[in-house]
Structure formats: structure tokens, C-alpha cells
Amino acid sequence: MKAIVVHDGEKYPRLVWEEVEDVTYGPDEVLVAVKATAVNRADLAQARGNYPPPAGASEILGLEMAGVIEAVGDIVTDWAVGDRVCALLPGGGYAEKVAVPAAMLLRLPDEWSFAQGAAVPEVWLTAFVNLFLEGNLQKGETVLIHAGGSGVGTAAIQLAHAVGARVFMTAGTSDKLKTGRRLGADLTINYKEQDFHDVIMTETDGEGVDLILDPVGADYLDRNISLLKRFGRLVLIGLLSGSRGELDLSHVLRKRLRLIGSTLRTRPPAEKISITREFEARFWPMLVNGELQPIIDTTFPLPEAQAAHEYVRQNKNTGKVILTLNNA
């Protein structure tokens, strides 16, 4: 089969579509012919050598996919050859085929494209687990979502709005802010033009927010902590601005705050299966009926993953960048 293979490059890694060893699948897995996958920041980090896959996972990039089941393992009973599916992956999505535990699969609605299916697993499950299972977001609370124009951001805005939370977001362009408002954000802040801390404190009469979802890290740490109400929660899901920042711990003690670090990829398979099933029960019907919608910015052919990575690296996208195979 063919897959994207990472090679050294002068400035950035080179992503080359070439022959690799065929993937095998176990008795509790299915073999899926990949029709679409997607670009995530984690893929860019892995390509640079900064985010290795979990032990035993494929070295091939790609944390989600949509496709058609080509073969089923001996003990798989709920799925059949020809079923259209999507799933979260620990790796392996940038390839013609991938092996997936049957328990991880979500059934792709007949009316959905494969691109729509590939736009869901990584960012929607990330938003879900961090807003609700880690952040314990409740109806009537206020949540600040940084990078609100990203794939995770556009999913998180919709999920938070759907449960009746008040949603604030930051982003760096007017188009991303416009999309955020359309998806349910109550307050949008251009972080390049305004200090989000000052805007939010003014908007909330100095009260701040209950929950913050942050992929930025160091540069936002002090302001994030200052913005949190008593019993507030900061869920850190990325380190785009670096891993070291200064923090006034008196705020943490006085307001009884919770600082939560969270990743999805490195969780044990059983935990990811549980997360998938809980998301499926709570929010999958809303995606299927159109109340919630995966936001797709643009698509590239999978062999052109290099160009897709550059597009994401330049922060051009609002929502997901999708990679398709064979014009799917």
C-alpha cells in the first residue's frame, strides 16, 4: 500500500507519498480503506520529531479517518465489509489502509461525505473530553475557548453552546471571529488587536469565567489564571507558545482553581473507546441531524499532504483541513 512517509527537509520535513509495508489487522479489528483523513497540529509536531506516537501505534501520521471496511477480524460481529465508518486513530491515517479496533468505530451517515466523517473524530472528541469530562462544563457557566477558529475551537464552541453555556472565544482574524459568532459564540475577541483579559473582565464586570480551554500555553498562563472565577478550571491542551510560564500561585490557592493538563492520543485504548461511546450517546445524534456541524476549511489530495501542512502551519484555516484519497 501507499502512505505518507516523513523525510528530512531543509526547513520543514518532506512528506512523500510512497510504498510502505501493508498493514495487518487483529481479530478484534477491521481493515479500512481510507477515503479521507485530516491535518491536526499533532501531525505537524510528529513530522518534526516532537510528538512520537504511543507505544505500538503506527509511525504513519494521521489521527483520524473515514473510509470503507475492507475486511473484519475473526471476533468482530457488529461490522461488515462495505460499511462506511470514521474513527479516532493513534496514528496511521495518512495511508491507503488502516487497522482500527472495531469498538472505536462510528458509523458514517449515508448522506455524509467521507470528508465530513474525517472532520469529526479528533477535534470533536478532544473538545468533548476537555469541556465535559475534564472541565465539567455546566449549563449557565461561562467558558473561554482560545483558538476558536481551529478545528477543536469550532467544535468546542458548538458543544458549549448546545448545553447552554455562555461562550467566549479568541482568534486572530475577522473571518474566524465571524464563524465563531455563527456557531454560537457570545463574545469574540481578536487577540491581535485586544487584550482578551481586559475585554473579558469588562464584559463580566470583573467576575471572569468558569472554564478555559487553551492550546496556547505559556504566553496565556498568567492571564488565564487571573480570569478564572472561584472554583474555575483551566484545561491546557497544547503548548503553541511554549511550555514554560510564570504563575502567581496565590490565585490558585485563594480561588481554589484547578489546572488540568490533557491529551487524547496517549490515553489507553479502553479509555478512548469509553470516550467515543459517551460522545456518541450525547452528541452524535446532533451531528447526524445537522444541529451541530463539522467545519471544513479546505481539502487537499492526500499525496499533497506537504501543501496541506504548510497551509495549517501558516494558520490559514478556519475549521478542518481534510486530505482525500481517490477523489472521495
Q: Which tens digit of pLDDT belongs to each residue from 134-186?
A: 999 999 999 999 999 999 999 999 999 999 999 999 999 999 999 999 999 99
Within a domain: 271: no
Specify whether 33 is located in the same domain as 96.
yes
Q: Tell me whether residue 286 is in a domain.
A: no
| Closest to 88 (Cα-Cα) out of 50, 49, 129, 138 | 129
**Does residue 68 share a domain with residue 12?**
yes
The confidence score (pLDDT) of residue 265 equals 93
On whether residue 34 sits in a domain, the answer given is yes
Q: Which residue is associated with the grid cell 492526500? A: 302
217-242 pLDDT, tens digit each? 999 999 999 999 999 999 999 988 88
Q: How many domains does the chain have?
A: 2
Query: Is 225 found in the same domain as 181?
Result: yes
Domain annotation covers residue 13: yes
Alpha carbon distance 68, 274 (integer Å): 23
Report yes or no on 73 lying in a domain.
yes
- The CATH number of whichever domain residue 224 belongs to comes to 3.40.50.720
How far is residue 319 from each of residues 40, 85, 113, 269, measured CA to CA in Å? 10, 21, 16, 26
Cα–Cα distance for residue pair 173/192, rounded to 1 Å? 8
The full DSSP string for 36-102 is: EEEE-HHHHHHHTTSSPPPTTS-SS--SEEEEEEEEE-TT--S--TT-EEEEE-SS--SBSEEEEEG
Give the mean pLDDT of the chain: 96
* Same domain as 16, residue 89: yes
**Is 272 domain-assigned?**
no
Give every residue of the chain whose pLDDT is below 70, as ranges: 327-328
Assigned domain for 94 exists: yes
Q: Which domain holds residue 225?
A: 123-261
> What pLDDT score does 328 carry?
67
pTM, to two decimals: 0.95
Q: Are 238 and 228 in contact (CB under 8 A)?
A: no
Residue among 47, 38, 40 nearest 8 (CA): 47
